[in-house]
């Protein structure tokens, strides 16, 4: 094999595939990525056996072939080379020769036959979806995914496709995020739980390919596949039954309170330092939201640490009520509410509270108060 690629193309390709490669690979070949010619392009592939990605980069292919290359060492070398063309050759012994200007390197690769084969992209059970829509669905729910490995079915985002709608749900048992996008040209239906790492990788690939307006989602028995331009991403799905999230979302509320999102975020951030750190690591460390007529007082008081209070104007005409929250949960929600105003809905100070953007009732966040 002999190819010539620009430094920029090689770095672009490595940026796409290298994050998939684990530093704790169970097999030596999984520390490598697959570098192989495909016509007048080079195809880069990487997998950790649960997630896989491949992409294409421009190249001058002078001799066809392929080999697996140690990913980190290769990327570290390429990064330090001068801008311009880089020659990459591999011989029958799987020795890789890298040449750029006056610099030369050799690396030992592994035969490409030892590299796991990535599954073909599904030909059925596929849906075209705007990249911005999938990005919004995953970004607005990822923060509420559980990190508790004992509750593995909650370690991902639950996707439901049905009747031209696609919904995304996540929960860690203390908070829940739900979003629904309607009006899609979807002829398929189904439910899948996408693991946290796969969700993060999909968001990363979308952000690196902002010019791609539409992507393809494909589902098989136990995998999800995403096609973004000339990039293909695949991941194993979480097996199991996601809990009935609909019964967690309150159907009624005694009061609705409209608050400026920016004001709320600023006030919560001011109080948050008094609820963090070793002294404040106890579960009782919370911020208190005291709602009164057209006024919200936000305070924190942690024994041995200190106290603070601030207030903001709100639209509220109900009775006075105090509710305690984990400030990080509120911040996570507010960061994803892309609306000037957020609406709080509650029944009592002990029951789940619903937060929604004023202009989008299809995005719902539920959070449990702290007692």
| Closest by Cα among 315, 324, 262, 267 to 292 | 315
pLDDT in tens, 273-282: 888 754 334 4
pLDDT in tens, 239-250: 999 999 999 999
**What's the rounded Cα separation, in Å, for the pair 295 and 112?**
66
Whether the pLDDT of residue 208 is over 60: the answer is: yes
**Burial (CB count <10 Å: 0-12, 13-18, 19+), residue 3:** buried
pLDDT in tens, 57-95: 999 999 999 999 999 999 999 999 999 999 999 999 999
pLDDT at residue number 24: 81
Residue 258 near residue 288 (C-beta atoms within 8 A): no
pLDDT in tens, 132-169: 999 999 999 999 999 999 999 999 999 999 988 999 99
All structural domains of the chain: 2-114 (3.10.150.10), 126-246 (3.10.150.10), 249-367 (3.10.150.10)
**Weakest-pLDDT range from 60-64, 200-204, 318-322:** 318-322
Task: Tell me what the pLDDT averaged over the chain comes to.
Answer: 93
DSSP state of 347: S
pLDDT at residue number 164: 87
Whether the pLDDT of residue 363 is over 70: the answer is: yes
pLDDT in tens, 329-355: 999 999 999 999 999 999 888 999 999
pLDDT at residue number 281: 41
Q: What percent of the chain has pLDDT over 90?
A: 83
pLDDT bracket for residue 118 (50, 70, 90): confident
Q: What percent of the chain has pLDDT over 70?
A: 98
Residue the block writes with tokens 């997998």: 47
pLDDT in tens, 267-309: 999 999 888 754 334 454 799 999 999 999 999 988 878 899 9
DSSP state of 116: P
């Amino acid at each position: 094999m002999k190819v010539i690629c620009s430094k920029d193309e090689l770095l672009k390709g490595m940026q796409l595939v290298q994050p998939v490669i684990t530093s704790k690979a169970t097999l030596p070949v999984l520390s490598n990525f697959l570098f192989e010619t495909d016509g007048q392009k080079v195809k880069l592939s990487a997998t950790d056996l649960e997630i896989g990605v491949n992409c294409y980069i421009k190249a001058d292919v002078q001799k066809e072939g392929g080999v697996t290359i140690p990913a980190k060492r290769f990327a570290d070398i390429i990064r330090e080379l001068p801008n311009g063309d880089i020659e990459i050759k591999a011989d029958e012994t799987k020795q890789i020769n890298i040449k750029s200007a006056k610099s030369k390197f050799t690396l030992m690769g592994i035969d490409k036959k030892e590299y796991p084969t990535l599954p073909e992209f599904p030909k059925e059970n596929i849906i075209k979806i705007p990249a911005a829509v999938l990005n919004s669905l995953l970004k607005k729910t990822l923060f509420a995914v559980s990190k508790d490995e004992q509750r593995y079915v909650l370690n991902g985002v639950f996707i439901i496709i049905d009747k031209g709608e696609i919904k995304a749900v996540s929960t860690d048992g203390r908070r829940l995020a739900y979003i629904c996008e309607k009006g899609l040209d979807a002829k398929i239906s189904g439910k899948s739980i996408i693991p946290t790492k796969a969700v993060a990788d999909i968001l990363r690939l979308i952000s690196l390919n902002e010019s791609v307006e539409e992507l393809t989602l494909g589902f098989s028995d136990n995998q999800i596949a995403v096609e973004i331009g000339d990039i293909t991403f695949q991941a194993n799905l979480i097996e199991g039954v996601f809990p009935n999230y609909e019964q967690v979302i309150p159907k009624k509320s005694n009061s609705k309170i409209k608050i400026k999102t920016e004001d709320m975020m600023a006030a919560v951030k001011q109080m948050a330092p008094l609820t963090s750190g070793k002294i404040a690591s106890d579960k009782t460390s919370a911020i208190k939201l005291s709602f009164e007529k057209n006024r919200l007082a936000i305070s924190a008081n942690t024994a041995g640490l200190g106290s603070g209070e601030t207030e903001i104007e709100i639209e509220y005409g109900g009775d006075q009520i105090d509710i305690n929250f984990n400030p990080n949960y509120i911040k996570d929600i507010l960061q994803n509410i892309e609306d000037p105003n957020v609406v709080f809905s509650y029944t009592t100070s002990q029951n789940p509270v619903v937060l929604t953007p004023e202009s989008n009732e299809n995005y719902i966040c539920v959070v449990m108060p702290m007692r």
